[in-house]
Amino acid sequence: MNTMVIISFLLLGIAAFVIQIKRRQQQIDALHLLFFAALAIAMKVDFEDANHANQWTYALIAIVAINFLLSRWAKLRNPIIRLLPPLVSFAILFGVYWNDSFIYLGNNFNMSDKATVVLPFLGILIYEIAWMKVHFLKKFFGLHDSFINVLMPLFIGLTALIGAFNAGGYGVFLVGSGFLAASFYNPLGSKHIIHSFFAVAVIWMFASQSDIALIDLRFGKVVAGLFIGAFVGGFILNMWTVEKRKNMALLLTYVLVVLIVTGVLIAGSQINVSFGGVEAYLGALMGFAIANSVLFLKEDNQELQQAPIMMSALVPLLLIGFIVPPMLVNEEEKAVEETLEAMAPKNENGEEIIVPFIPIADLVGSHQIDPASSIISFKLGAEGSVTKGAIKEFTGTISISEDLKTSTFDIKLPVLNLTTFLSMRDESIMGAEYFKADKFPSMYFKSSEMVPTDKANEYELLGTFELLGVKKDQKVRIHRIEDGSKKVLVGAGEIDRRKFGMSDDPREGNIVSFEFKVELK
């Protein structure tokens, strides 16, 4: 992420804090405009066409800025006409870009598509529809004006659903842009709701940066993230109401929030993937958005305005997302994944390209494994709690016979060349509980037969695998792929580590699935 974007959000967070401390509520709209602009610029890097994205992004910012300026004219804040400026300005914007289409994070949406056009207009109308509902309920049931905060989660949920269905996170962002433009003409009441839209919108952005396609609520870490995010919103909001040693309390509050959310991210990569990671962080953003839409300050507390408080809470969350995940990227793990991804290339739409298998019979003769360019990748554990690893610089002899069935594979895998991409964990698994590396320094695979499968040019190796001095029958699927002038074999298989004397541990996982790429020389 661009350093200037990070600095911009940092300054905006500080500004939100100062506005609340100094009670300069008249500056909230200007602050929201700057926040929106910074977020729009941050999100534009995920558009496929950079030039087109620049034009659209700055045009969208300009339209919202025009509404900010027009809203300074008191007459346009009249409830009878305050909807007209944002409705007309967004209609002009879509008219200019009517024939254009955009690809955001692989999601193509057309400006002339009704499902796209309607998004900012839904945002513009949310506040007014909510107030109409409140007035109706007040008339018949005597409810208080604060009931609008109860209605907001419903409207946010419905409009976010429509936005996400058509254009993913950017669809939600468009709804939020309309809501923001309309909010300039409205009282302070529900201005904090804009941060719920923005918190939801950036989930797609951060998920894409970490190659996460799905957030599954069955995972404990995601549920934990949801409640941590809700805690962040509620905790910061309530700490602003303390009366004794307020400055110290607020300082400790924001520090604690940063530590907790950062800890959630780090837990997945440095402690245990079941405890956290990016999925938990994305859950925290969603939890914050939900809490922000249902929590509200008592109206008798006139000193506080919720909008800058919730902005000051969201900014640290965004900064953590911008800064922490890139720092946690393990270059060794990334290199392994890129190597394996090259074996299964994808087209521009993200669909896997079927790589034809080529005959192994053309490799008749004896070959040595090239340890520098060969790799085995493995993983184990339940879904959402998968531990990944690799074995590099292993050696072996592969003899391909005229009669392929009698071909032999003799592979030696040094245990110390195994890594789970975390040095502390690697040291632990080399001990007596797992690999006993001092006593059994290597693992071995020796094939006895190679038989064809029902796929053309794919074979199954039948042989024995030796681990911890224990030998068991093992099957491995294998085929050859074209890679220029290189002689490359790839394949996959599974090993039940319990069969070799390792203790049963469903949490860590017992079935180790592996893929490999072997280059011959």
Q: What SS3 class is residue 190?
A: coil
Question: Which carries the bigger pLDDT value, residue 140 or residue 185?
Answer: 185
Cα–Cα distance, 74 to 72 (Å, whole number): 6
pTM over 0.85: no
pLDDT digits (tens, 9 = 90+) for 177-189: 999 999 999 876 7
Q: What is the pLDDT of residue 164?
A: 86
Q: How would DSSP label each residue in 85-146?
A: HHHHHHHHHHHHTTT-EEEETTEEEETTSHHHHHHHHHHHHHHHHHHHHHHHHHHHH---GG
Q: Specify which residues 459 forms β-bridges with.
A: 452, 478
Residue 442 confidence (pLDDT) above 70: yes
**Exposure string over 155-176, b if 16+ CB within 10 A, otherwise e:** bbeebbebbbebbbbbbbbbbb
What's the whole-number average pLDDT of the chain? 88
Mean pLDDT along residues 58-74: 95
CA 442 vs CA 37, 411, 430, 436: distances in Å: 57, 10, 11, 10
Residue 156 confidence (pLDDT) above 90: no
Question: Which carries the bigger pLDDT value, residue 211 or residue 236?
Answer: 236
Confidence of residue 109 (pLDDT cuts 50, 70, 90): confident
Q: What is the pLDDT of residue 450?
A: 94
Q: What is the pLDDT of residue 338?
A: 74
Q: What is the pLDDT of residue 163?
A: 86
Question: Which carries the bigger pLDDT value, residue 415 or residue 336?
Answer: 415
pLDDT digits (tens, 9 = 90+) for 2-27: 788 899 999 999 999 999 988 888 88
Q: Across 427-436, 463-472, 497-506, which has the greatest mean pLDDT? A: 463-472
Confidence of residue 106 (pLDDT cuts 50, 70, 90): confident
Mean pLDDT along residues 318-330: 88
pLDDT digits (tens, 9 = 90+) for 465-485: 999 999 999 999 999 988 888
Q: Specify which residues 520 forms β-bridges with.
A: 369, 487
